[in-house]
Amino acid sequence: MPPIRRAFFVVAASAAAIGTAHAANPVMFRDAGCGCCLKWLEQVKASFGRKVTVVNSADMAAVKDKQGVPPTLRSCHTVLVGGYVIEGHVPAKEIARLLREKPKGVKGLAVGGMPIGSPGMEHGDHREAYKVMTFGPGGQRVYASYAASGGAHAH
């Protein structure tokens, strides 16, 4: 990422951000060794409408546990925005829809794993089929589905 773009991010190391993220600017928790997280953020940051704080965490499992992300829906990064948890490579339009609709019983959205072709995981024109799932007190349900394309296949 160019240095000018890097200035967009405020990198913090404090776990205290976990408790305050819902009331402030969006906060992204990620493993410092993962490159796709920042690629995803570059594509979706306009959905958040404000600066995103990036926190490199050595214990992402603890972040996900604290935020109630179901084990089957976990991915590489977790974002707290507008009172919701965004887990993994969720497309920008689904985040915008969640923030606009504010569905009851939903704590967040997740794209489990790291599907090829999802935002930040591009590989040419190939895309694996994947689902954006809601999770929370209302259980889990499909929020959006993305079909395979470009010769990719679902696993």
CA 26 to chain centre: 11
pLDDT at 47: 67
Q: Which parts of 3-123 fold into alpha helices (H)?
A: 3-6, 17-20, 36-48, 60-67, 92-101
Nearest CA among 128, 85, 93 for reference residue 109: 85
Residues 15-63 have pLDDT tens digits of: 334 343 344 589 999 998 888 888 888 888 876 777 889 999 999 999 9
pTM: 0.79
Check residues 97 and 51 and name the one with the higher pLDDT.
97
Per-residue pLDDT at 42: 85
Higher pLDDT, 134 or 124: 134
Tell me, what DSSP letter sits at residue 149? B
Quick one: average pLDDT of 71-86?
Answer: 95
Bridge-based pairing state of the strands 108-111 and 84-88: parallel
CATH number for region 3-146: 3.40.30
Q: Three-state DSSP class for 32? A: coil
The answer to whether residues 29 and 77 touch, using CB atoms and an 8 Å cutoff, is yes
